[in-house]
A = this chain, B = another copy of it.
Amino acid sequence: MDMVEDVLAGRVRGIARMMSRAEAGGGDCRAALAEIYRHTGRAHVVGLTGVPGSGKSVLARVLARAIRASGRKVGIVAVDPSSPFSGGAILGDRVRMTGLSGDPGVFIRSMATHGAVGGLARASLDSVDILDAAGFDMVVVETVGVGQDEVDILQAAHTVVVLSAPGLGDDIQAIKAGLLEIADIHVVSKCDRADANRTLIDLQGMLTLGVAGGDAWQVPVLPTSAENDEGIGDLLAAIDAHRAHLEDSGGIALRRRRIAETRILGIAEDIVRTRFAGRHDGRLAGLLDRVMAREVDPYAAAMDMLAASRED
């Protein structure tokens, strides 16, 4: 459990090593991750989503700088399903750019589909756990938000921030992606642009229509310009206000339940899907043949497959 101790002590190398092992999906680190999970629950997790080109990665970094400036430790987990690269190295340049380099109170990790065995959501949320257990006060999980895995990642956050950008063809990208309902905070990026105002007004109009929200929380629409460092303080204030609202209203219990449900269900589906994809497993390949030969019906095969999953 040296590895776990390194994480709990907040040692950067230990954190990175544990993340790599978690990402590799090996069953050998499940016990360590289970131990780490016991030490989680303190960090506030922010899910940040926006279409490619919305300036999501830059926003995550200037937000991290603002969190750090408020005296808190911050982690970023950047989920990029389109990238074949995982780890931290390729982000070096961007880290330097935003002045976050060399600060042990900031940890940035990028996750990619190809590096993750057994589900991107599972691997990403394991990394969030590791940062949480390591004493990071806030963790920003950044994702495009398309596909079940990425929606699961967002659903596992305490505060969901949805980023829209002007001039990307469809003015309110959140609607297109079906993310309007899960947004706790809307952000419009690139507000130095002339057409940003229309995006702001459109989003505010949508919210007035009652498409989003439902509890007492008033979903804000915040203009930002990461380049000019405008609106970032307001964004952090809104995140902190949302956190306070969850705690004061008791909504945090429901949110924690949603997070636990999303994670358990996502992992269960991963296990089922992974088992099934592993054709080298003779039993399931045989099951498929028997269904095709009409010897077994799909329902019985599914029950059998779930039984096989259990024996993993």
Query: Contact string, A44-64, partner B, CB cutoff 8 A, digits 1/0?
Result: 000000000000000000000
* Number of identical monomers bound together in the oligomeric complex: 2
A interface residues, how many (CB within 8 angstroms): 46
Given contacts A257-B292, A310-B306, contact A297 B265 (CB under 8 A): no
B residues less than 8 Å from A288 (CB atoms):
257, 260-261, 264
Asked if A309 lies at the interface with its beta carbon under 8 angstroms from chain B, I say yes
**Smallest beta-carbon distance A274→chain B, Å:** 11
A270 to B268, CA, bound (A): 11
Which segment of A13-21, A30-38, A194-202, A227-235 sits at the interface? A30-38
A302 touches B267 (CB 8 A): yes
Residue of B with least CB distance to A291: B260
Asked if A276 lies at the interface with its beta carbon under 8 angstroms from chain B, I say yes
Asked if A280 lies at the interface with its beta carbon under 8 angstroms from chain B, I say no
A37 touches B298 (CB 8 A): yes
Query: Contact string, A198-229, partner B, CB cutoff 8 A, digits 1/0?
Result: 00000000000000000000000000000000
B294 touches A40 (CB 8 A): yes
Residue of B with least CB distance to A118: B299
Residue of B with least CB distance to A312: B303
Asked if A104 lies at the interface with its beta carbon under 8 angstroms from chain B, I say no
B residues less than 8 Å from A257 (CB atoms):
288, 292
Given contacts A265-B273, A302-B268, A303-B310, contact A37 B260 (CB under 8 A): no
B residues less than 8 Å from A125 (CB atoms):
298
B268 touches A306 (CB 8 A): yes
B272 touches A38 (CB 8 A): no
A310 touches B307 (CB 8 A): yes
**Smallest beta-carbon distance A256→chain B, Å:** 5
B residues less than 8 Å from A265 (CB atoms):
272-273, 276, 302
A39 to B307, CA, bound (A): 26
Given contacts A37-B298, A287-B264, contact A271 B303 (CB under 8 A): yes
B residues less than 8 Å from A271 (CB atoms):
302-303, 306
Residue of B with least CB distance to A310: B307
Given contacts A40-B294, A288-B257, A297-B38, contact A264 B302 (CB under 8 A): yes
A-B pairs, 8 with minimum CB distance: A37-B297, A267-B302, A263-B298, A268-B302, A34-B297, A260-B291, A264-B301, A307-B310
